[in-house]
C-alpha cells in the first residue's frame, strides 16, 4: 500500500495496475487468469448492479438463473457460435469421480443453454415476449489477462429475450443499447459513442451487434456494452417455433445483451488520476469521509463527538464514514481516501469547530472549500451532483479533443500511433479495407453510427464510395 | 399448468414437485442434476438475498468475489476437507483447447481458494478481523436430485471470516447462527431449533458446526443454515499466520457459514397447501393482486380505470399487480394467483364499486373479507403483517405438536417411522449409538442444543449416562 502510483505519463499500463492495487479493488488469484474482487472493488460492482437492475426492471425485464454447465453438443448447434467460442472454453470432463459421457462446457455465454430451455416455454405468440436477464459468472479462457479488463472468469449480466417479430427484436436490441448508453453517461459519467459493429466484430451467432464505445485516458476505445439482434439463428439451432396470431408456425426472434465487471476497468481509466482512483459520486459506495483532526490525544474524544453530532441522521441520505482511527495521522488518512476514490473529504479540526465550519475537499478537482456547518448535508448532496456532472463534462471534453475527422490514410496512420484517439473516417464497406487498419495499426472499426446524418465520401483506404463515416481506434 | 396438484396426503413428494411446477418456480435443466430457476422462483431468491444481505452488512460484513476454480492441490491441503468433498467434485481438465497441467475443481465451497488469498492479506493482528461474504454458485455432483433441495449446481452465500482469537471466532459463529435463526423466524415464518452438530454430521474441516433445523409438513427435518467454527484448520493448511499484540506469530482462526437456494424448498414445504404455493408476505415478490371483475366487455375499461384509481400511489409502499388480462375469466385468475402463492387477492366487481368496497382473500386461510375502499392500503399492510405472524404461529404449532420427548427405543422406533416428527432423546455421546438411528431408521441426530437447560438421563440406545437430550429426526 505504501508503494507510489506510477504516473500516467510515465507508464499508463503500470499506472492502471497501481491504481487497482492502491484502491484495493482486486488482485490476481492463485488460479491462472482469474481474479479476486476485493471488498472495495466488489462494492463498486454492487452499485453498478443495483442501478442497472432497476433500469432493466423498469423496462419490463425479470431475472432468472440458468445452469453454469452446457453440454458440448449444445455449443455446436449454432455454427458461427461454436466457431467463435470453442477456442475459449473451459471443459469439465469428470464429475463425482467418474469420466462424463459428454463433456460439459463452463458457460462462456448462455445463448445455447437458455434457448434449449426456451424451446419448452414457447408454443404460441401468447408466450411471447420473454424478457429475461441473468446475473452470473462466465468463463472465457484467456492467455493475457488484465484485472477487470480481461480475465478468464468474470461477472456480468446477460439478457436473453424472445420475440414474435423481427421488428420487436430490433426494437428490444436498441432499447437496451439506450439503457447502456444512459447508464454509461448518467451513472459512470462516461460519454459514449454508439452504433453497430461491422461483420468482423459481430457477436458469434448474431445478425447485428450494437455497442457503446468509451474513450480511455490513453485515447484507446473500450467497448463498454453490447446488444445483439440474434435474428432467428438460435431458434433455428434449437428448433424453437411458435404459432403466430394467424395460426402459422414460425421461428422465434432473439436478442442478447451484456455488460460485465469490465465496466470497473472503464470507470478507472475514464476518471482516475495520478493520485489514485476517482469515482463518479453516483457509483461511489462511500460518498464522503469525515476526517476529524486533533493534535493532542486529549482532543480526540471531543473531536469524535463533534463529528458524530455533525453527521447525526446522515445515514438515511448518504453513505459516509467517520475516520476515527487513532493509529494514523490526518495526512495518511487524506492520502488513503484519495487513493480509494472517495468523492468528498470533510476535514474538521478544533479551529473549524470554533469557526462553526468544515473544509470540503473535492476528489475530482482537489479544490478545498471552507463551508459553514449549517445545512451541510444538503450542500454536500448538491456538490456531489455537481461533481458527477463535472466528471462527465471533463471526460467528454477530453474525448472530443481527441476525436478527429480525417480523410487521408497517411494522416490517420500517423495520428493513430501518436497521440492516438478516435478517428471518423470514410469506409467503403469492404472487409479488405477494414483489415488494413488491423494489420497496419492494430486498430479496428469500433462502430458504424446509426443516428448520425449521412455524408458521402471516399474510402480512406481504397478511395471507393462511402455513404458515411465510421469510428476507427485502437482498443482494449 | 392445467395439471392438478397432487394432495399432500396422497403423495407428499409428488405434491412438492407439483407445487414447484404450478407456481412456475423452477425446472430441471438439460444438464443432468442442474436446474433452471425461473423468474417467479428467482424473484423469491432476490427477496431472500435482499434481506439477508442487509443483515450481514448490519453485523459488519462486506461482500467480495473469489474464483470459481480451485487448483486440485488446494483441495488436498486440508485432509478432512478433501475427504468430504472430493467425491462430489466437478473437474475441469481442459481450457482454451489444451489439457491443463493441473486440473481445476469447480468450487463445491470456497474455504481453500479464500484462505490461499487470506494468506497474503494477513500479517498482523491489525489486519483482523476479516468479515467477508460472497454470493455465488457452487457445484456438488449429485446422483439423486430434487429441485431446490438437492441439485448439482446451486446458488448460495458463503461467509468466510478470519480472527485473532478462538473466542472471537466462536462469537462470530454464534452471531451468524443467530442471524440465520432470526431470518428463518422473522422472514421465512419458519420456527427453527438451533444447536451444534455431532462429529459425524460436522462440516468437513470444521471444529464445530452449528445449524438451524426446521420441520417440514411431512415431519422431516430440513437443515436450513449452517455456521462453522473452523478453528485453525484452514490457517494451518494454508500457513496463514499473524503477529499478535504481543509480537508472537500465531495461526489465524476461521469461520464459514452459508445458506442456499435450498431455503426456497424449505419455504415451500413449511407453508404451502394442496392449492399450491403459500409465501410469507415478507418474502413474497408480489404482495397482492387486484383482480377486477367484469361481465360485459363494455365494463372492462371502466373496471380497469377504477382499479388503477384505487391503487394509485401504492407502488411506493408495496409491490402489487392489477390482473388486466382479457383472455382469462376471474376464476382462472384466482386459481393462478393461488397456485403462485400471492398472499392477498383483491377482488373488485361492479357491485363492489357501487358499495365502495373490495373483497380481500387471504392466501393463508382462504378467508374472504369485504372491506371499505377507504384506507385500503393501510389495511392491507396490517393484514399482511398479521398473515406473516399467523404463518409463523401455525408452523410452530404444527412443529410443536409433532415434537416428542421419548425415552424408550421401541417407542422412538415406532413413532419415527409413522407419523414421524422430531424426537428429543437422551444420548450418551457414542458414535455407535448414533449410528443405530441411521442404520435402523435413516434418522440422524439433527443437533445437540446449546441453550437448553441440562437434564440428566439414560441413553435411549445403550442406557449409558447422558447429560442432555438431543434432537433426532429423519431429514432432507
CB contact under 8 A, A29 and B67: yes
In a domain, A2, yes or no: no
CB contact under 8 A, A36 and B117: yes
Q: Give the residue on A whose Cα is nearest the Cα of B36.
A: A66
Domain count, chain B: 3
A126 and A234 housed in the same domain:
yes
Q: How far apart are CA B476 and CA B316, in angstroms?
A: 39
Task: Choose the final residue of a domain: B271, B292, B314.
Answer: B271
Residue B367 has which C-alpha cell?
Answer: 378467508
Q: Output the tens digit of pLDDT for each of chain B's 476 residues.
A: 457 899 999 999 999 999 999 999 999 999 989 999 999 999 999 999 999 999 999 999 999 999 999 999 999 999 898 999 999 999 999 999 999 999 999 999 999 999 999 999 999 999 999 999 999 999 999 989 999 999 999 999 999 999 999 999 999 999 999 999 999 999 999 999 999 999 999 999 999 999 999 999 999 999 999 999 999 999 999 999 999 999 999 999 999 999 999 999 999 999 999 999 999 999 999 999 999 999 888 999 999 999 999 999 999 999 999 999 998 999 999 999 999 999 999 999 999 999 999 999 999 999 999 999 999 999 999 999 999 999 999 999 999 999 999 999 999 999 999 999 999 999 999 999 999 999 999 999 999 999 988 899 999 999 999 999 999 999 99
- Best mutation target, B33, B43, B66, to test chain A (most A CBs within 10 A): B66
B39 to chain A: which residues are within 8 Å by CB?
62-64, 132
The beta-carbon neighbor of B95 closest among A29, A36, A90 is A90
In a domain, A389, yes or no: no
For A261-322, strand residue ranges (E) read 288-292, 320-322
B65 and B81 housed in the same domain:
yes
A113 and A173 housed in the same domain:
yes
Task: Tell me the H-state helices in B288-430.
Answer: 297-310, 330-339, 350-354, 376-401, 409-417
CB contact under 8 A, A29 and B117: yes
Phi-psi region of A242 (alpha: psi -120 to 50; beta: other; left: phi over 0): beta
Question: Is A249 in contact with A243 (CB distance < 8 Å)?
Answer: yes
For residue B407, give every residue at least 6 positions away whose Cβ sits within 8 Å of its Cβ, in sequence order, or none: B425, B426, B457, B458, B460
In a domain, A458, yes or no: yes
CB contact under 8 A, A68 and B139: yes
Task: Choose the final residue of a domain: A246, A271, A296.
Answer: A271
CB contact under 8 A, A64 and B36: yes
Question: Is B169 in contact with B258 (CB distance < 8 Å)?
Answer: no
B86 to chain A: which residues are within 8 Å by CB?
97
The beta-carbon neighbor of A67 closest among B29, B41, B67 is B29
Q: Give the residue on A whose Cα is nearest the Cα of B34.
A: A67
Residue A212 has which C-alpha cell?
Answer: 457503446
Backbone dihedral angles phi then psi of residue A439, each to the nearest 5 degrees:
-70, -40
A159 and A185 housed in the same domain:
yes
Distance from CA of A97 to the nearest CA of B (A): 6
A120 to chain B: which residues are within 8 Å by CB?
27
The beta-carbon neighbor of B42 closest among A46, A64, A153 is A64
Task: Tell me the H-state helices in B4-63.
Answer: 12-22, 39-58
Residue A213: the pLDDT is 98
Q: How far apart are CA B161 and CA B253, in angstroms?
A: 8
The beta-carbon neighbor of A95 closest among B30, B62, B90 is B90
DSSP category for residue B200: G
Residue B1: the pLDDT is 44
Question: Would the CA dihedral through B229, B231, B233, B236 be positive or negative?
Answer: positive
Angle between helices A262-271 and A39-58 (to 10 degrees): 110
The beta-carbon neighbor of B97 closest among A45, A87, A126 is A87
Read off the pTM: 0.97
Question: Would the CA dihedral through A296, A300, A305, A308 be positive or negative?
Answer: positive
Strands A457-458 and A69-71: unpaired
- Best mutation target, A28, A43, A58, A66, to test chain B (most B CBs within 10 A): A66
A429 and A362 housed in the same domain:
no
Residue B453: the pLDDT is 85
B35 to chain A: which residues are within 8 Å by CB?
67
**Structural domain boundaries, residue B72:** 12-271
SS3 A84: helix
Question: What CATH code is carried by the domain that includes residue A75?
Answer: 3.30.930.10
Question: Is A192 in contact with A245 (CB distance < 8 Å)?
Answer: no
Q: Which helix (H) or strand (E) holds A434?
A: helix A431-441
SS3 B28: strand
B413 and B376 housed in the same domain:
no
A253 and A302 housed in the same domain:
no
Distance from CA of A282 to the nearest CA of B (A): 19
Q: How many CA atoms lie within 13 A of A170 on its CB side?
A: 7
CB contact under 8 A, A45 and B31: no
CB contact under 8 A, B62 and A39: yes
B159 to chain A: which residues are within 8 Å by CB?
none
B252 and B327 housed in the same domain:
no
Residue B452: the pLDDT is 83
A63 and A160 housed in the same domain:
yes
Residue B122 has which C-alpha cell?
Answer: 494477513
How many residues are present in chain B? Answer: 476
CB contact under 8 A, B35 and A67: yes
Question: What CATH code is carried by the domain that includes residue A364?
Answer: 3.40.50.800
Cis peptide, bond prior to residue B139, ω within 30 of zero = no
B120 and B244 housed in the same domain:
yes
Q: Give the residue on B whose Cα is nearest the Cα of A114.
A: B36
Residue A452: the pLDDT is 83
Q: Does B135 touch chain A (CB under 8 A)?
A: no
DSSP category for residue A164: S
Q: Give the residue on A whose Cα is nearest the Cα of B24.
A: A121
A88 to chain B: which residues are within 8 Å by CB?
96
Q: Does A94 touch chain B (CB under 8 A)?
A: yes
Nearest to A39 by CA among A53, A23, A51, A28: A23
In a domain, A280, yes or no: no
- Best mutation target, A38, A92, A239, A327, to test chain B (most B CBs within 10 A): A92
Nearest to B92 by CA among A94, A261, A297, A156: A94
Residue B453 has which C-alpha cell?
Answer: 437447560
Q: Does A315 touch chain B (CB under 8 A)?
A: no
CB contact under 8 A, B39 and A30: no
In the block, cell 392445467 appears at: B2
In a domain, A4, yes or no: no
In a domain, A357, yes or no: yes
CB contact under 8 A, B34 and A95: no
Q: Does A87 touch chain B (CB under 8 A)?
A: yes
CB contact under 8 A, B65 and A74: no
A197 and A338 housed in the same domain:
no
For residue A355, give every residue at least 6 positions away whose Cβ sits within 8 Å of its Cβ, in sequence order, or none: none
In a domain, B4, yes or no: no
List beta partners, residue B250: B242
Residue B359 has which C-alpha cell?
Answer: 373483497
Distance from CA of A39 to the nearest CA of B (A): 5
In a domain, A336, yes or no: yes
pLDDT in tens, B37-81: 999 999 999 999 999 999 999 999 999 999 999 999 999 999 898
A28 to chain B: which residues are within 8 Å by CB?
none
Q: Does B30 touch chain A (CB under 8 A)?
A: yes
Q: Does A76 touch chain B (CB under 8 A)?
A: no
Q: Does A150 touch chain B (CB under 8 A)?
A: no
Task: Tell me the H-state helices in A24-110.
Answer: 39-58, 72-75, 79-85
Residue A93 has which C-alpha cell?
Answer: 470432463
CB contact under 8 A, B42 and A36: no
Q: Give the residue on B whose Cα is nearest the Cα of A64.
A: B39
B38 to chain A: which residues are within 8 Å by CB?
64
Q: How far apart are CA A289 and CA A323, in angstroms?
A: 7
Question: What CATH code is carried by the domain that includes residue A470?
Answer: 3.30.110.30
SS3 B442: coil
Q: Output the tens digit of pLDDT for each of chain A's 476 residues.
A: 457 899 999 999 999 999 999 999 999 999 989 999 999 999 999 999 999 999 999 999 999 999 999 999 999 999 898 999 999 999 999 999 999 999 999 999 999 999 999 999 999 999 999 999 999 999 999 989 999 999 999 999 999 999 999 999 999 999 999 999 999 999 999 999 999 999 999 999 999 999 999 999 999 999 999 999 999 999 999 999 999 999 999 999 999 999 999 999 999 999 999 999 999 999 999 999 999 999 888 999 999 999 999 999 999 999 999 999 998 999 999 999 999 999 999 999 999 999 999 999 999 999 999 999 999 999 999 999 999 999 999 999 999 999 999 999 999 999 999 999 999 999 999 999 999 999 999 999 999 999 988 899 999 999 999 999 999 999 99
In the block, cell 452471531 appears at: B175
Q: Which helix (H) or strand (E) holds A298?
A: helix A297-310
Question: Is A305 in contact with A290 (CB distance < 8 Å)?
Answer: no
B237 and B331 housed in the same domain:
no
Q: How far apart are CA B363 and CA A160, in angstroms?
A: 33
DSSP category for residue B451: S
Question: Is B41 in contact with B375 (CB distance < 8 Å)?
Answer: no
Task: Choose the final residue of a domain: B271, B299, B317.
Answer: B271
CB contact under 8 A, B65 and A42: yes
Amino acid at each position: 500500500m505504501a508503494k507510489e502510483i506510477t504516473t500516467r505519463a510515465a507508464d499508463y499500463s503500470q499506472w492502471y495496475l497501481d491504481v487497482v492495487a492502491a484502491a484495493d479493488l482486486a488482485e490476481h488469484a492463485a488460479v491462472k487468469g482469474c481474479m479476486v474482487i476485493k471488498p472495495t472493488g466488489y462494492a463498486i460492482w454492487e452499485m453498478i448492479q443495483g442501478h442497472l437492475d432497476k433500469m432493466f426492471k423498469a423496462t419490463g425485464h425479470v431475472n432468472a438463473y440458468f445452469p453454469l454447465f452446457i453440454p458440448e453438443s449444445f455449443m455446436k448447434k449454432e455454427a458461427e457460435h461454436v466457431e467463435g467460442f470453442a477456442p475459449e472454453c473451459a471443459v469439465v470432463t469428470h464429475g463425482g469421480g467418474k469420466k462424463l459421457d459428454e463433456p460439459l462446457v463452463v458457460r462462456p455465454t448462455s445463448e445455447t443453454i437458455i434457448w434449449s430451455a426456451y424451446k419448452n416455454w414457447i408454443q404460441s405468440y401468447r408466450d411471447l415476449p420473454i424478457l429475461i436477464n441473468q446475473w452470473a459468472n462466465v468463463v472465457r479462457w484467456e492467455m493475457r489477462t488484465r484485472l477487470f479488463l480481461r480475465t478468464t472468469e468474470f461477472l456480468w449480466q446477460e439478457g436473453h429475450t424472445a420475440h414474435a417479430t423481427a421488428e420487436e427484436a430490433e426494437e428490444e436490441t436498441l432499447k437496451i443499447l439506450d439503457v447502456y448508453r444512459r447508464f454509461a453517461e448518467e451513472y459512470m459519467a462516461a460519454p459514449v459513442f454508439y452504433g453497430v459493429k461491422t461483420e468482423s466484430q459481430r457477436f458469434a451467432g448474431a445478425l447485428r451487434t450494437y455497442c457503446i464505445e468509451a474513450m480511455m485516458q490513453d485515447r484507446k476505445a473500450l467497448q463498454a456494452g453490447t446488444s445483439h439482434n440474434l435474428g432467428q439463428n438460435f431458434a433455428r439451432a434449437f428448433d424453437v417455433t411458435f404459432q403466430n396470431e394467424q395460426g402459422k408456425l414460425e421461428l422465434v426472434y432473439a436478442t442478447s445483451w451484456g455488460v460485465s465487471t469490465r465496466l470497473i476497468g472503464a470507470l478507472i481509466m475514464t476518471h482516475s488520476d495520478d493520485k489514485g482512483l476517482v469515482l463518479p459520486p453516483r457509483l461511489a459506495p462511500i460518498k464522503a469521509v469525515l476526517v476529524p483532526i486533533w493534535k493532542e490525544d486529549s482532543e480526540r474524544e471531543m473531536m469524535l463527538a463533534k463529528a458524530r453530532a455533525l453527521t447525526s441522521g446522515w445515514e438515511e441520505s448518504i453513505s459516509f464514514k467517520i475516520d476515527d482511527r487513532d493509529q494514523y495521522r490526518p495526512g495518511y488518512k487524506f492520502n488513503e481516501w484519495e487513493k480509494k476514490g472517495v468523492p468528498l473529504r470533510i476535514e474538521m479540526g478544533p479551529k473549524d469547530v470554533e469557526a462553526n465550519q468544515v473544509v470540503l475537499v473535492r476528489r475530482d478537482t482537489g479544490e478545498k472549500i471552507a463551508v459553514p456547518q449549517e445545512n451541510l448535508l444538503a450542500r454536500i448532496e448538491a456538490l456531489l451532483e455537481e461533481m458527477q456532472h463535472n466528471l462527465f463534462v471533463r471526460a467528454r471534453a477530453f474525448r472530443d479533443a481527441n476525436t478527429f475527422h480525417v480523410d487521408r490514410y497517411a494522416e490517420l496512420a500517423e495520428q493513430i500511433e501518436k497521440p492516438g484517439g478516435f478517428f471518423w473516417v470514410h469506409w467503403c464497406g469492404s472487409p479488405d479495407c477494414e483489415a488494413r487498419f488491423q494489420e497496419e495499426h492494430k486498430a479496428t472499426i469500433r462502430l458504424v453510427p446509426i443516428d448520425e446524418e449521412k455524408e458521402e465520401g471516399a474510402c480512406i483506404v481504397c478511395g471507393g464510395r462511402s455513404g458515411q463515416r465510421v469510428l476507427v481506434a485502437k482498443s482494449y
